[in-house]
Structure 1
């Protein structure tokens, strides 16, 4: 089971300040045979969180209150029976958020003044997350995938079939009654003409177009704020009709051909990855090449002291942040001052985290890259809009 996570869910996390803020990440398992392993891992992370909070001088009763929402999950059997690939938990004074997500997380605990959200960025950044819309006349499925994972999403608000979409105005099986135009003879009745609409190609296309428009309307809420590509899966003749109905700006030109009713999620995922993988590789490669060309100009930067204030001001078009690395320090938005520290403290935040968040919130692109991807030993970099 996956919980919804878009930029809208990110906003309250980054808006929380004043600490202490506890961020917990851990892998989870979809199979119920590993519930004990998952609950034990969360218990250990909570024990470590209790220790770190105590070291800040926080009183034991306050620590128990802060961690209580996560402690309560340990005995919630139903919760553990419906997991995805990763679990993210955020706890603060008066705030608690729990997300089951299709990402594998390394176990991680961060206690700081704000929530640590960089591990969530693959869901929002240009790094391999994509969607598959599998459509036939009898069934609609939406899958969210990454390179190694796939999960089927709930489709509340999206019609589940052609019949459901056109339930109230489907003319395919209806007979329309029309009286003939010539006047009736004296004492007689006008003759009736019955038109059965259900056979012409134009009628079929119109019904499919209205079906796809209903699907598209339902997807707008589910995919709002998303940057991920969408791959259509269906028989070939449906693709151009769906393209006509589609309003999602990142629908891929290529599609998974065939009847998706006969394809398991893993099969759809493999076929769709072949379509999106070149897109992701090309997007990152082109962005990196642009950075290399601009690196020696004032249109790019590679120090956090330059980049972070620019991202806050909305000047960063593209940001590169390193995967699985943190840079601890503080940032004052009013003065633009960035202070670095050698190790994590309760009054610090991950500055790479803040860079990515500010860039995303101001409609920039973020690439979470492996360390060593950028030239000359640079760990983070940016291309400016202006």
Structure 2
């Protein structure tokens, strides 16, 4: 069986990055080179070297001495000679530096070059990992095998559900559950449908035992997912799906499942099958929210006014936020007075209001879609928002 695929950056790790604060927090996004010619010419390293110079210049506007800047940027300089990084490139590289040290990640996203210095890390280029690229959960389910993954277009990450829930029917209902009287076996009917053997009470007992198992499992799923609203996809034989639906309390169980017993399925194939099943959900959602915005345009449920949208994002009022790609509005926001002050450029004392609104919306279970400027509902506006209330 193949090694499972890792999600490029789990949402929990994304949240940790987004919560970090510190003066002179540096974020750098760069495209990497996979072709031999570009690698041989060290073009990616040259981009990083140029980015370091730009960061150095930016830090000169802060109250740092030349020596302090030089020492602070040493971890970035060390990346230039990190042979492992450049020998195994992905599509994009994200680098984060603050007083706690350096973190860097490679991603299957080809970033445009972006350098940002503020009191927080700049994470807007990563938003597609959790919005239109699809954050969802995948639950592999049988009587004696359970696995829960966080998933996206890019891969799967094991969430270790067995720490919170039984992974076998016997553990939920006891080991004396009369397997000889009633047998339930998978993979012996078309499309992986399970077959009940036995009649009358035996079949009812088996169903009750499965429901008991699934209710215990459902509690564990909700503990692990912990209040998220991303869709949950099941991989199971056909006959188990309606039983799990009966036991389920998670609010966004997807109405289609991957049929068959997935226990011995290659995890890359399982990931591909799950993404093929769920991909339309995210595109349909984007289209649905665009349609909703247009229908509610010129009502109090929508806005394209920055001064209205920033307080709404902070207060969890936004259902869906549309942002043009590669555009930032800089300024300051006072939570006490809810006053927004917009500046023409990035300055040491201000922030990207676009980045702030996006993260606040995402953290409060809203939708954030990065759009081509011509695809924005209200073209030319830096924000379009659909409000919850």
* SS of match in other structure, 2:235: strand
Does the C-alpha gap of structure 1 residues 363 and 162 become closer, same or farther in structure 2, counting only changes over 3 Å? closer
Provide, for residues 170-198 of structure 1, a one-character-per-residue CA deviation record: whole Å limited to 9, x for no partner.
Answer: 22479xxxxxxxxxxxxxxxxxxxxx766
Q: 1:166 aligns with which of 156, 168, 171?
A: 171
Q: Which residue of 2 aligns with 1:6?
A: 11
Matched residues in 1 for 2:296 and 2:31: separation? 39
TM-score normalised by the chain length of structure 1: 0.73
Deviates more, 1:367-376 or 1:262-271: 262-271
Counterpart-to-counterpart distance in 1, 2:360 and 2:52: 27
What's 1:381 paired with?
384
Once residues 245 and 61 of structure 1 are traced to their aligned partners in structure 2, the CA distance between those partners, rounded to angstroms, is 62
Residues 125-152 of structure 1 deviation map (CA, whole Å, 9 limit, x = unaligned) = 3653323223334544445444xx4323
The 8 Å contact of residues 149 and 158 in structure 2, kept in 1 or not, is answered as: no
Q: 1:122 aligns with which of 122, 128, 149?
A: 128
Q: Secondary structure at the match of 1:233?
A: strand
* Structure 1 stretches lacking a partner, 5+ long: 175-195
Matching residue of 1:156:
160
Distance verdict in 2 for CA 1:287–1:55, change over 3 Å: closer
Contact 1:317/1:365 (<8 A) preserved: yes
Cα distance in 2, alignment partners of residues 236 and 76 from structure 1: 49
Secondary structure of the 1:166 match is: helix
- Point out where structure 2 has 5 or more consecutive residues left out of the alignment: 1-5, 184-201
TM-score by length of 2: 0.73
Alignment of 1:26-175 (within 5 A): 26=30, 41=44, 44-45=47-48, 48-57=51-60, 58-67=64-73, 88-94=94-100, 105-125=111-131, 128-146=134-152, 149-158=153-162, 162-163=167-168, 166=171, 169-172=174-177
> 1:255 offset after TM fit, Å?
0.7
Q: Secondary structure at the match of 2:373?
A: coil
Which residues of 2 match residues 163-242 of structure 1 at below 5 A?
163=168, 166=171, 169-172=174-177, 199=183, 200-242=202-244
Q: Which moved more, 1:315-324 or 1:122-131?
A: 122-131
RMSD between aligned residues = 4.2
Provide closer, same or farther for how the CA distance between residues 87 and 5 of structure 1 changes in structure 2, counting only shifts above 3 A: farther
Displacement of 1:86: 5.8
Which of 293, 308, 311 in structure 2 is aligned with 1:309?
A: 311
Q: Distance in 2 between matches of 1:346 and 1:237?
A: 60
Aligned residue pairs total 358
